[in-house]
Amino acid sequence: MTSEARPALGAPPDLGTGALRIVALGGIKEIGRNMTMFEFDGRLLVVDCGMLLGKTNSPGVDLTLPDWSAFTDRLDRIDAVVLTHGHEDHIGALPYLLRDRQDIPVIGSRLTLALVAAKLEQHRLSADLRTVREGERQGVGPWGLEFFAVNHSIPDALAVAIRVGGQTILHTGDFKMDQTPLDGRLTDLPGFSRLGDEGVDLLLADSTNAEVNGFIPSERTVGQVVTDVIHKAQGRVIVACFASHVHRVQQVLDAAAEAERQVALVGRSMVRNMQIARELGLLRVPDNLMIDLPTAEQLPSRRVLLISTGSQGEPLSALSRLANRDHQTIRIVPDDTILLASSLIPGNETSVGSVINGLNRLGATVVEKSSALVHVSGHAPAGELRYLLNAVRPKNLMPVHGEWRHLRAHAAIGRSMGLTDDRIMLAEDGTVVDLLDGVAKIVGKIPVGYVYVDGLEVGDIGDSTLKDRRILGEDGFLSILVAVDQELGKVVFGPEITARGFSDDPAALDPITAELIEVVEKALADGTRDADALQHLIRRTVGRWVDREYRRRPMLVPTVVEV
């Protein structure tokens, strides 16, 4: 069953007795903003509360948050927020939710909550943080929670089983199945199988790599390649990876120590996260290995390795600043080797390509996933998703965490494992799924949009403002000032046209002035006296002319002054 196949979905009915309701408020049909709301008997449970970084089609937007406005009047009924792991697309929106209700209990692993605590400190917030480990069970309100270890590209990731009203749901979070993980912490397939024996009514599972066949190589295979790159480099090495990828940083530190290089961290989030991981014993740092950036600048390049943020081409990240030559300390030189130890998040291809081109233009050697095995994904491909389905044997499947192509690929895997279409919930953000007596159904849809963070403002801009910004950025701005004498029926001043972002030719708009005077004076002669009507006429006349002559549609702001 798919919500796309039922475009006329209306508001959902009242939740029936004994039924469990599931609504994704973000994270379905996109990568990021993961947040799922569960409702039972008037009580609410949230799994994850993530953000999406501002995209190229949302100029000026810093972050995009899930939209929980449909639940604003019921936030007091949330029994807890359960966090599966510490990536920003799963925890980044939490401070904004806690602004609305600060006493919501937040449940997660040690590392996840340590990252949350650092984030909340930046927002000057405190919270009720409750640490759990894999294998533990915890009750909160009517919800019975059981936690399972899963592998991912950050330590301490968890899946969660939710038991309520005699029904069981398994939410995997982001996961993969590394058989030789660096920390020895395996995805708990035996636990999933035991849960399957007990009966799982609904499985919500990571879809990001559902299009990829086979199995993900182990993190250990990356370590040797990274070591080889570092040993062969003649000058300085700069490794860019996610600031939360503790295992990748560990591999780089070990390789640097072996190559007799000293290491400096670049980027505030990298410094903060690695300090947290070190304090929790998740990162082992050899003695005398770490140095600060000023010291690194004084050493011979062959003895230096930098670990930086910015592997996704974020405009303000350290790596982007290096590529643009506007980093305050570091300058790229031709003997530098840049190692991009991460994969592309869908949608970031253009920005990452721009950074790679910028680094190549400066003469650096860039090593990335397309040329060497310097990264393995943190998400299960098709082969591992089949293992999961075999272990869990769910009555119903709801693919989550992915774009439409990923969700449909995951649905196809479910069908290949024996699930019928009516047992596969292909939903999108806002689609309402009800689960009762082991049967899941799409029953309606609630309004769910995007909540934009622009500077210090949250939710104060919408799609209409972003549309204006895109027009300004793509086609420019024209201001047209005209003064008229209504008694004489004449244009006595102007039209004065001011252009921004339209053309460098000061005479580009001269040909329209005579036509504008003629059109306005004809309207005055016909008895038009309303300034708004004249402004509409000017906008239409200029817009048609610009479209005809330039094939562009700038923002037009006409002003008529009566004298």
Q: How confident is the model at residue 2 (pLDDT cuts 50, 70, 90)?
A: very low
Q: How confident is the model at residue 343 (pLDDT cuts 50, 70, 90)?
A: low
d(CA 436, CA 167): 8
Q: Per-residue pLDDT for 471 more than 80?
A: no
Nearest Cα neighbor of 312 from 284, 343, 285 is: 343
Mean pLDDT of all residues in the chain? 87
The segment(s) of the chain belonging to CATH 3.60.15.10 are: 20-214+377-455
- What pLDDT score was predicted for residue 555? 81
Which residue shows structure tokens 């090495």?
A: 237
Fold of the CATH domain 466-562: Ubiquitin-like (UB roll) (3.10.20)
Q: How confident is the model at residue 68 (pLDDT cuts 50, 70, 90)?
A: very high
CB 164 within 8 A of CB 142: yes
Q: Per-residue pLDDT for 517 more than 50?
A: yes
Cis peptide preceding 495, ω within 30 of 0 = yes
Query: Taking each helix axis from N to C terminus, what angle separates 268-279 and 246-258, rounded to the nearest 10 degrees?
Result: 90
Task: Looking at the structure, give the CATH architecture of the domain made up of residues 20-214+377-455.
Answer: 4-Layer Sandwich (3.60)
Indicate the residue type of 256: A
Q: Sort 166 into a burial class: Cβ within 10 Å, 0-12 / 13-18 / 19+.
A: exposed
Long-range contacts of 277-281 (CB under 8 A, 24+ apart): 277/111, 277/155, 277/246, 277/249, 279/114, 280/110, 280/111, 280/114
Indicate the residue type of 319: L
Q: Per-residue pLDDT for 344 more than 80?
A: no
- What pLDDT score was predicted for residue 488? 80
CB 293 within 8 A of CB 259: no
Q: How confident is the model at residue 356 (pLDDT cuts 50, 70, 90)?
A: confident
The segment(s) of the chain belonging to CATH 3.10.20.580 are: 466-562
Q: Per-residue pLDDT for 535 more than 90?
A: no
Residues paired with 130 in a beta bridge: 107
Please give the residue that has the higher pLDDT: either 531 or 144: 144
Pull the structure tokens for residue 402: 């992915």
d(CA 411, CA 404): 10
- What pLDDT score was predicted for residue 326? 81
Phi and psi (nearest 5°) for 485?
A: -105, 110
- What pLDDT score was predicted for residue 467? 63
Q: Give the Cβ contact number of residue 279 at 10 Å.
A: 10
Q: Per-residue pLDDT for 460 more than 70?
A: no
Kindly state the DSSP code that residue 181 receives in the 8-state scheme.
-
Nearest Cα neighbor of 47 from 177, 149, 169, 131 is: 169
Angle at 395 between CA 50 and CA 33, to 5 degrees: 10
The CATH superfamily holding the domain 219-367 is Metallo-hydrolase/oxidoreductase (3.40.50.10710)
The segment(s) of the chain belonging to CATH 3.40.50.10710 are: 219-367
Q: Per-residue pLDDT for 420 more than 80?
A: yes
| Greatest mean pLDDT range, 303-317, 416-430, 480-494 | 416-430
Q: How confident is the model at residue 458 (pLDDT cuts 50, 70, 90)?
A: low
Q: Per-residue pLDDT for 442 more than 70?
A: yes
CB 238 within 8 A of CB 293: no
For residues 496-508, give the mean pLDDT.
75
**What whole-number percentage of the chain has pLDDT above 70?**
89
The model carries a pTM of: 0.80
- What pLDDT score was predicted for residue 370? 63
